[in-house]
Chain A
Amino acid sequence: MQAELLARYLSKECTTQEYLEVERWLRLSEDNVEELKAYEQLWRDSANLVKLEDGSDSNMDWSVLQSRIEAEDLNEEMKKPKLLSSRSRTAYDNVSYFSRIAAIITLMFLVGFYGSQFFEQPLPAEVEPVFKEISMNKGQRGSVTLSDGTLVSLNSESSISLPNTFKSDVREVYLEGEAFFEVARMEDKPFLIYVNGTVVEVLGTSFAVRAFPDDEMVRTTVVEGLVSFRSESEGIEEGVLLAAGDLGEFNLKQKRLSKEQVQNLAPYLSWKEGYLTFEKATMHEVKKQLERKYDIQVLFAEKDIELLELTAELKSRSLRNVLETISLSLNLSFDLDQEVVKFKKLP
C-alpha cells in the first residue's frame, strides 16, 4: 500500500474512492489489517507529542510584550505634538504615567534577568527621601523590582509608594489595593508595608497583602517565611505572627486582628497569574474583582444575586468565557454590552 494514500486516509483527507481502495486492501489479508493498526498507533502517538510542550513561558512573554507596547506608546507620545487622535480609545490610551514607569521597570528587570547585570549600578545616596508612586489602573496588572531586589506584583487599581532610596536601617513602602511581595532577605533591614492603618513587617519572604478602599478588611496571606501583622498604632508584640499558609485579617470597623490557617491559597494569589479564583465568594465580591480585572461595570438585574456564592477557577483569558462559567454555575444569564455586563436569574 502506498504510504501517501495511507497518510491521506489516516488524516481523513482522502476521497471516497480512495477510502474504498483502502478498505479493499484491508480485505485482502489479515496482515494488512495488522499493518494498518501499526500505522494507526504511530499516527495517534505522533499527535501525543504536543502535550509535552510547556506553555509556562506565556505569562512571562505576555508581560514583556505589554512592556514593549507601552514603551513604544510612550515614545510615540513624546515624539508627536499633542493632537487629539481620532483612532478608537484603547486601554493603552489612558494608562497613567506611573504604570508606564512600572512597565518599563518590569522590562528592565526582565532584560537584566535574561541578559546581563548591565543595569545594576550603585544609586547615589540621597538626603531627602523623594517618594514615587507606581499605580495600576483597572484592567492592568504589573510588577516592579525595587532597588533592594524585592519584587512587587501589583493588581489592578492598586498602587505602591516608596522612597527613591531606602533608609539605612529600614525599608518602608505604602500600599493601596492588592500586591504580592517577594521580599529580598536582609536581616538587619526589615521591610515594612503600611497599609490602611496596619503594618506588615517582614525580614524576607513572599506574601500577598490586600486592602482595597471598599474592603472591610486588610488581608495578608503568607506563602513563605514569617511575617508580623499589626495595627499601625501597636508594637510588634501586639501583632500576630503569620507563617506559610496563614491568613491574617484586620477588621477595620471593629479594629480586630485575627488569624487562620488556609487550606487553599489560590483564591488569594491567582490574580498574580492573571486569573481569578473564588472559594465560596459572594457575587458582591466577584463583582468587585471582575470590575477591577476587566475594567467593566457589573450589574445585577435582581438585587439578591449579590448574595449567591461562587466557587470557581476562572482560568480562561476571555471575559465572555469567564462570564459564561459564572452564569452556568449559578444558573444565571448575562448580557454583555460594550463595557457593561448584566447578570439575570434564569426563570
Chain B
Amino acid sequence: MALDSQKIQIHPTAVQVEIKDISLVDAIRKGDQAAFEQLFFEYHPALIRFANSITRSKELSRDTVQDVFLKIWRNRDQWNIHSSLKVYLYQSVRNQALNLLEKQKNRYKLKENLHIDYSTSMNIWEEGFQKKLEVPEEDAKRIMTIWMLVEKMPDRRRLVFELHRKDGLSYKEIAKVLDLSVKTVENHIGQAIKYLREQLGQEKKL
C-alpha cells in the first residue's frame, strides 16, 4: 500500500500557471495576435468537449466556442477577468452554450439529439480508441466501461464529474463554472464514484 508516500499537497505548478495566464490575458488585451492564437489552441479542444457535453451537438459546440473566442477578441480592450482564466473560459462556454440551446429549442428535440450523438461517439470509440489511448486491451475495456457509465449519469452529475476528471478543475472551480455550491459538487463526485464502483463491481461478478 503506497499510502505513506501519498501526502496531501498543493500542486507546485498552480502558482506558475496563474502568472502565465495573467500575462496571456494582458498580451491579448493589448491586441497581441500570437497570444490570442496560443490561448485558442491551448483551450479549444477542452472547451469543445465541454460544450459538447452540454449541447450534445457537434455543430452547436463549435459555434459556442467560436462565439466565446470571437467575443474575447472583439472586446479585448476591456477584457477583465475576476476569477481565473480557466474558470472564465468554462463559464463563458457554459453561458453561450445555454444561450444557443435556448435559441434552438423549438427546432430540435434535445432528447433525440442526445441519442443520436451518443451512438455516433460510441462507434468512433470502439473503432479507434484503443490505438489512441495506447493502452493494453484490458485497460481499454475498463476505461470504455467507465465512459459508458458516465454517460448514464444524470446531466449535472456527469458534467461535474467530467470537469473534474477530464479537465482537472478543482471543486471550487467547478462550483463557479456550474453555479453550484462546493458542497453540491462534493456530493455529485461522491455519488458518481459510488455509482461507478457499484456498477463495475457488478460487471466483475457477471
* Residues on A facing B (Cβ under 8 Å): 2-8, 10-14, 16, 19, 23, 26, 33, 38-39, 41-43, 45-55, 57-58, 61-62, 64-65, 68-69, 72, 87-92, 114, 139, 294, 317-319
Query: Which of B9, B40, B48, B171 contacts A65 (CB under 8 A)?
Result: B40
* CB proximity of A300 to chain B, nearest CB, Å: 22
- A contact residues around B125 at 8 Å (CB): 52
* Residues on B facing A (Cβ under 8 Å): 1, 3, 8-9, 30-35, 37-38, 40-42, 44-46, 48-49, 59, 62, 65-66, 69-70, 73-74, 77, 125, 129, 132-133, 135, 139, 142-143, 146-147, 150, 161-162, 164-167, 170-171, 186-187, 189-194, 196-197, 200-201
Inter-chain CA distance A23–B5, complex, in Å, is 13
Tell me whether chain A's interface is mostly helix, strand or loop, or mixed.
helix
Contact check, A68 vs B8: say whether CB atoms are below 8 A apart: no
Contact check, A317 vs B38: say whether CB atoms are below 8 A apart: yes
30 pairs, A vs B, C-beta closer than 8 Å: A3-B191, A5-B190, A11-B170, A14-B8, A16-B8, A26-B3, A38-B200, A39-B193, A39-B197, A42-B200, A45-B139, A47-B165, A48-B133, A49-B143, A52-B129, A52-B132, A52-B147, A54-B45, A55-B48, A58-B40, A58-B45, A61-B48, A61-B62, A61-B66, A65-B70, A69-B70, A90-B32, A317-B42, A318-B34, A318-B35
Inter-chain CA distance A92–B59, complex, in Å, is 27
- A contact residues around B74 at 8 Å (CB): 69, 72
- A contact residues around B59 at 8 Å (CB): 114
Chain B's closest residue to A321 (CB) is: B38
Known: A49-B150, A317-B37, A317-B42. 18 other contacts (CB 8 A): A3-B197, A13-B186, A42-B196, A42-B197, A43-B165, A50-B167, A51-B132, A51-B133, A52-B147, A55-B45, A69-B73, A72-B74, A87-B31, A90-B31, A139-B33, A317-B38, A317-B40, A318-B38
Contact check, A11 vs B1: say whether CB atoms are below 8 A apart: no
A53-B45 CB under 8 A given contacts A89-B31, A139-B33: yes
Chain B's closest residue to A22 (CB) is: B3
Chain B's closest residue to A88 (CB) is: B31
* CB proximity of A281 to chain B, nearest CB, Å: 22
